A and B are shown apart, each in its own frame.
Chain A
Amino acid sequence: MTARFEPGAAVRVRLDDPKGHCRTPHYCRGRSGVVERICGAFRDPEELAYGGEGLPKQPLYRVRFAQAELWPDYAGPAGDCVEIEIYEHWLEAAG
């Protein structure tokens, strides 16, 4: 598996709304974060959901988002964050 992003890389989630099943929550689309770790390579759930093979496997990342990036009115401390698993084809380089 060749992962395009290293841990620590600044990434942005694609702002997109494709039809069908996907596992990228709406609340992080278009938002920027940092790669926390590479989880490995997994079959693409967007194809698996419709009986496809989901191959080639997709690198899966954990991306850390500051709460204030996700919710501009977030009331808690600046260090609070959310980490979300995101497949590589949903990510683009940021910053």
Chain B
Amino acid sequence: MSVEHSHGHDHDHAPPPDQDGPWSDYQYLETAVRELLIEKGIFSNDDVRRMIERMDSRSPARGAQVVAKAWSDPAFKDRLLADGRGAVEELGIDIEPVRLIVVENTAAEHNMVVCTLCSCYPRNLLGLPPDWYKARAYRSRAVREPRAVLAEFGTELPDGVAVRVHDSTADMRYMVLPRRPDGSEGLGEAELADLVTRDSMIGVSLPKTPA
């Protein structure tokens, strides 16, 4: 792909200072399309910055709030498992058009989420996916040898616990509802939320246990 182009202003498209290698074709493509759309007045640099800020503002804390509520309120948990988006909206969390399926870990079943085709992820609840979630190694191995992957995350499950892997290949997004840790009786929702990690909501690990 040629990187020579002219569109009425003068700049050199040098790689950003923190990227040592050459740009990929996709980086050139993204930059070219973005600059053209800005030139044509479809959106502005400021719009781009605001969108990035909005994406960066989402964090796993949202998901943790949902999990803590489900641990504390059995009726909410039932609604969450029946209609993920509806229940999450009760907490004032707008997940836009996302179809959310919440899957519950139990004594008999452990759930784990992957997108083998790309990197589908419940960003509105968990923020941006970690790099390993997008890596080919995780995407291919999570469906092929999930127990080996779990072990590498330090998660050893007894054979009596079935592993159910969710490949989010299309229009649904998945969040795991981890099991409430032993010793967390009597904790309030805020303290419970502190026990909920991002990885436990992807299903590659378990929540923290109370100190």
Contacts and interface: CB of A to CB of B under 8 A. Distances in A.
Contacts of A87: 170
A27 B159 CA distance: 24
B146 interface: yes
B116 to A, nearest CB: 5
B161 to A, nearest CB: 8
B167 interface: yes
Contact of B116 (A27, A40, A42): A27
A62 B169 CA distance: 10
Interface size class of A (residues with CB under 8 A): 20 to 34
Interface string B138-173: 000001111100000000000110111111111110
Contact of A42 (B144, B160, B166, B171): B171
A22 B106 CA distance: 33
Contact of B146 (A40, A60, A80, A85): A80
A45 B170 contact: yes
A82 B143 contact: yes
A23 interface: yes
B99 interface: yes
A85 B172 contact: yes
Interface string A39-61: 11010010000000000000010
Contacts of B144: 27, 71
Given A39-B99, A70-B143, A81 B170 contact: no
Interface of B: 99, 116-117, 143-147, 159-160, 162-172
In the A-B complex, the 3 residue pairs with the closest CB atoms: A79-B162, A85-B170, A82-B165
